[in-house]
Structure formats: structure tokens, C-alpha cells
Amino acid sequence: MNEEVTTEVIHEIISWTKTVVLAVIFAIFINNVIIVNAKVPTGSMMDNILPNDRIVAFRLSYLMSSPKRFDIVVFRYPDDRKMLYVKRIIGLPGETVTIRQGKVYIDDSEAPLDDSFIREPANPDDFGPYTVPANSYFMMGDNRNTSMDSRYWVNTYVIKSDILGKVLIKYFPGFKILYNT
């Protein structure tokens, strides 16, 4: 009877070990192939994403389509590719981005981009013009007055292959859907 109990315990341990190992493999697969799970350390995307918010970006968003203006994305920082950044796409490939008096203009348009999502009026600074290369994007934070973004980077543009995913949700603290903002 003692041998029988020992065998049952061993089978139970093996069963639990298999379950835990499969769960870990599944979590690693999801985190490396399907989503980017990140903690945002700065206030550059306030008020949509606050410091220490946890976000999820969908890695497969741009598998069949190109990034769009105003998408919030997670990408490899062009000046240090080991770091991940979260910003909003402003300039698309081939466009010229000019910032006059804090307002963003695309291709010498008379009307600035809608910036109703930004935290506060941008400082009345001028930047550019920046002509976005093919397969690249110009990024800006929503908190324009404190965001270190394409305007300040040595390598101004983010290439498409460095965009890891489109931010879908903020899940901690609180829950907020971000893909339509």
C-alpha cells in the first residue's frame, strides 16, 4: 500500500509539473509572438497613458497593414534599440512634418493636425521640416512639452520593423481601451 501511495504522489507531481511547464511555455509564446506587455516609466503620453501604467500592444497589428497616423505604438528606441518606447505616430513615410508655433503640419498643409488628444497646448516652438524616409515614421508623445520624441532624437525616425505592436489597452491601474484614441 505504501508503494501504491508513492506511485500516486509521483504521478500527481508529474501531472502538476507538466501543467506548469505548459503554462509557462504558453505565456512565453503569447508574450513574444502575440503581445507586448510593458510598463510605461514616464509621463510623455499623459493623459492617455500615465507613468507606471501597464499596457498591452498587439504584435500582429501590422502584419497585413501599415501603421496609421495617430496609432499609439511600442517600438525600439532608434538611439538605443535595447529600450522600448511608447509614442503616437504623427508622420508617415514620404510626408514632410513641420511644427510651427507648437502645431503640427503635414506636407505644408494650411490646417494643423487635430491634436485634441494632447495634454495641454504645446509650447509655441518650431521644428523641422522633417521629411520622413520610406518605411519610417515620425513619433511624438501626447505630453508634447515634456516628451523626448522624434524632434530630439539623433536618429529621428522609427523604421517599420522596429515597431513591435499597436497599443490596445491600458490594464493597470484601471482599464482603458486605447486603440481608438
Question: What is the rounded distance in angstroms from the CA atom of residue 150 to the CA atom of residue 157?
Answer: 6
Q: How far is CA 131 from CA 11, 105, 121, 127, 144, in A?
A: 64, 12, 24, 12, 20
- Inform me whether the pLDDT recorded for 181 exceeds 70: no
pLDDT digits 0-9 by tens, 68-98: 999 999 999 999 999 999 999 999 999 999 9
Residue showing cell 493636425: 113
Residue 162 is classified by DSSP as G
The pLDDT value given to residue 1: 55
What is the third-level CATH fold of 2-177? Umud Fragment, subunit A (2.10.109)
- Inform me whether the pLDDT recorded for 54 exceeds 90: yes
The pLDDT value given to residue 180: 63
The residues annotated as belonging to the active site are 44, 87
**Average pLDDT score over residue span 2-20:** 86
Q: Quote the pTM value.
A: 0.88
Report residue 129: phi and psi, to 5°.
Answer: -75, 150
Percent of the chain, pLDDT > 90?
73
Q: What are the cell numbers at 110? A: 494650411
Nearest to 110 by CA among 118, 121, 98: 98
pLDDT digits 0-9 by tens, 113-158: 999 888 888 899 999 999 999 999 999 999 999 999 999 999 999 9
